[in-house]
């Protein structure tokens, strides 16, 4: 994977497969501590302890079409390359949280990539059934995208309406640009 926005799309795919209806994506850039934290939290079916342990093994997957599961190990590897780490917190029947930490300015820390494209692709294809909350902070400056709030405002208009999607995409791009600027 070239960048974090692609890893995020892939990890969210796990949440969708686990039957999640609400997925929270959080990116926190702490410039003083030089730490970048990525958190993806879902309310899907969760995993028991045994499965969590195995999920970090690249040769483990519960899928039947192929023998290896790569997504989580690839994110763990990306974190490790930037002197960080990845952790899985999960409870069967409750949900799963994936936390990856990176040294923010590490030369091997992957760039963010196009987060607007990742979020809009998710909303366009799954937005009617799944809620996505995306929060991105640089120090104290935060941008938040909350599909629950947006759906309320849209009333009878579907969130995957093309008109709505292109508006939301521009708004995410604008919001991220603003926090980047102010965060220094």
In 56-161, which residue ranges form alpha helices assigned H by DSSP?
Answer: 71-81, 115-126, 147-154
| Residue 29, binding choice from ligand ADP, Mg ion, other proteins, none, Cβ under 5 to 8 Å by partner class | none
Identify the CA nearest to 134 among candidates 38, 4, 5, 25.
25
Question: Does residue 155 bind other proteins (CB under 8 A)?
Answer: yes
Reading the block at residue 41, the tokens are 């939290």
Report the alpha-carbon distance of residue 91 to residue 93 in Å, rounded. 6
State the binding partner of 47 from ligand ADP, Mg ion, other proteins, none, CB within 5 to 8 A by kind.
Answer: ligand ADP
Q: Select the binding partner of residue 96 from Mg ion, ligand ADP, other proteins, none (C-beta < 5 to 8 A, by kind).
A: ligand ADP
Beta-bridge mates of residue 90 = 96
Query: Which residue in 77, 94, 158, 181 binds other proteins (CB under 8 A)?
Result: 158
SS3 166: helix
Q: Check residue 71 for interaction with Mg ion (CB under 5 A).
A: yes
One character per residue 38-67, x = contact with other proteins (rule: CB under 8 A): -------------------------x-xx-
Residue 36's φ and ψ, nearest 5 degrees, are -110, 125
Q: Is 18 in the site for ligand ADP (CB under 6 A)?
A: yes
């Amino acid at each position: 994977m070239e960048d974090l926005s692609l890893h995020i799309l892939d990890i969210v795919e796990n949440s969708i497969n686990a039957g999640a209806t609400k997925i929270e994506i959080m990116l926190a850039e702490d410039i003083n501590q030089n730490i970048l934290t990525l958190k993806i939290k879902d309310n899907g079916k969760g995993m028991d302890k045994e499965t969590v342990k195995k999920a970090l093994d690249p040769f483990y997957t519960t899928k039947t079409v192929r023998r290896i599961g790569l997504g989580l190990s690839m994110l763990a590897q990306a974190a490790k390359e930037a002197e960080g780490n990845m952790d899985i917190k999960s409870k069967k029947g409750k949900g799963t949280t994936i936390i990856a930490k990176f040294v923010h300015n590490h030369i091997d820390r992957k760039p963010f990539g196009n987060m607007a494209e990742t979020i809009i692709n998710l909303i366009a294809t799954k937005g009617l059934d799944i809620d996505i909350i995306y929060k991105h902070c640089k120090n104290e400056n935060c941008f938040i995208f909350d599909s629950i709030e947006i759906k309320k405002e849209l009333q009878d208009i579907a969130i995957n309406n093309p008109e709505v999607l292109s508006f939301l995409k521009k708004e995410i791009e604008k919001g991220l640009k603003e926090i980047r600027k102010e965060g220094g």
